Protein backbone atom coordinates (compact mmCIF):
# COMPACT_ATOMS: atom_id res chain seq x y z
CA UNK A 1 0.00 0.00 0.00
CA UNK A 2 1.30 3.46 -0.88
CA UNK A 3 1.54 6.05 1.92
CA UNK A 4 1.25 9.63 0.70
CA UNK A 5 3.87 12.23 1.54
CA UNK A 6 3.56 16.02 1.69
CA UNK A 7 3.99 16.09 -2.11
CA UNK A 8 0.55 16.34 -3.72
CA UNK A 9 0.49 13.33 -6.02
CA UNK A 10 -1.16 9.92 -6.16
CA UNK A 11 0.27 6.65 -7.42
CA UNK A 12 -0.71 5.34 -10.88
CA UNK A 13 -4.11 3.65 -11.15
CA UNK A 14 -2.39 0.27 -11.49
CA UNK A 15 -1.66 0.42 -7.74
CA UNK A 16 -5.37 0.42 -6.86
CA UNK A 17 -6.44 -2.63 -4.86
CA UNK A 18 -9.46 -4.77 -5.77
CA UNK A 19 -11.37 -2.77 -3.14
CA UNK A 20 -10.53 0.49 -4.93
CA UNK A 21 -7.96 1.75 -2.41
CA UNK A 22 -5.15 3.67 -4.10
CA UNK A 23 -3.32 5.21 -1.12
CA UNK A 24 -3.32 6.00 2.59
CA UNK A 25 -2.41 9.09 4.59
CA UNK A 26 -1.72 12.55 3.31
CA UNK A 27 -4.00 15.42 4.24
CA UNK A 28 -7.31 17.01 3.28
CA UNK A 29 -5.85 20.26 1.99
CA UNK A 30 -7.79 22.07 -0.71
CA UNK A 31 -5.00 21.50 -3.21
CA UNK A 32 -4.89 17.73 -2.54
CA UNK A 33 -8.69 17.40 -2.65
CA UNK A 34 -8.94 19.24 -5.97
CA UNK A 35 -6.14 17.12 -7.43
CA UNK A 36 -7.81 13.95 -6.13
CA UNK A 37 -11.31 14.82 -7.40
CA UNK A 38 -9.95 15.80 -10.81
CA UNK A 39 -8.46 12.30 -11.03
CA UNK A 40 -11.47 10.36 -9.75
CA UNK A 41 -9.96 9.76 -6.32
CA UNK A 42 -12.02 10.22 -3.17
CA UNK A 43 -11.08 10.35 0.52
CA UNK A 44 -12.63 8.42 3.38
CA UNK A 45 -11.85 10.08 6.68
CA UNK A 46 -12.36 8.92 10.27
CA UNK A 47 -10.99 10.52 13.43
CA UNK A 48 -7.80 8.89 14.68
CA UNK A 49 -7.43 6.84 11.47
CA UNK A 50 -5.31 7.50 8.39
CA UNK A 51 -7.15 8.91 5.39
CA UNK A 52 -8.04 6.15 2.92
CA UNK A 53 -8.07 7.28 -0.71
CA UNK A 54 -10.35 5.42 -3.12
CA UNK A 55 -10.20 5.23 -6.88
CA UNK A 56 -13.18 3.08 -7.86
CA UNK A 57 -13.03 1.40 -11.26
CA UNK A 58 -16.76 1.73 -11.83
CA UNK A 59 -18.21 5.19 -11.52
CA UNK A 60 -21.49 6.89 -12.16
CA UNK A 61 -21.91 10.49 -13.20
CA UNK A 62 -25.20 12.34 -12.80
CA UNK A 63 -25.91 15.38 -14.92
CA UNK A 64 -28.60 17.36 -13.06
CA UNK A 65 -30.10 18.88 -16.20
CA UNK A 66 -30.54 15.40 -17.70
CA UNK A 67 -31.89 13.67 -14.57
CA UNK A 68 -35.42 12.32 -14.90
CA UNK A 69 -37.20 11.68 -11.61
CA UNK A 70 -40.18 9.34 -11.74
CA UNK A 71 -43.52 10.47 -10.31
CA UNK A 72 -43.33 7.91 -7.50
CA UNK A 73 -39.83 9.08 -6.54
CA UNK A 74 -40.93 12.71 -6.69
CA UNK A 75 -43.67 11.92 -4.16
CA UNK A 76 -41.08 10.37 -1.82
CA UNK A 77 -38.80 13.39 -2.20
CA UNK A 78 -41.67 15.80 -1.50
CA UNK A 79 -42.78 13.89 1.60
CA UNK A 80 -39.27 13.62 3.07
CA UNK A 81 -38.48 17.31 2.48
CA UNK A 82 -41.45 18.53 4.54
pLDDT tens string, the chain, 82 residues long: the values are 899 999 999 999 999 999 999 999 999 999 999 999 999 999 999 999 999 999 988 777 888 899 899 999 998 988 777 6
- How far apart CA 44 and CA 50 sit, in angstroms, is 9
- How far apart CA 22 and CA 62 sit, in angstroms, is 24
pLDDT at 80: 73
pLDDT at 82: 62
pLDDT at 39: 93
Question: Which residue ranges make up each domain of the chain?
Answer: 3-80
Q: Is domain 3-80 in CATH 3.30.70.3550, yes or no?
A: yes
Amino acid sequence: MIWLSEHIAFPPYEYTTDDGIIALGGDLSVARLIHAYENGIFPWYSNDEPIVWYCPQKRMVLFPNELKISKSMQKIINVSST
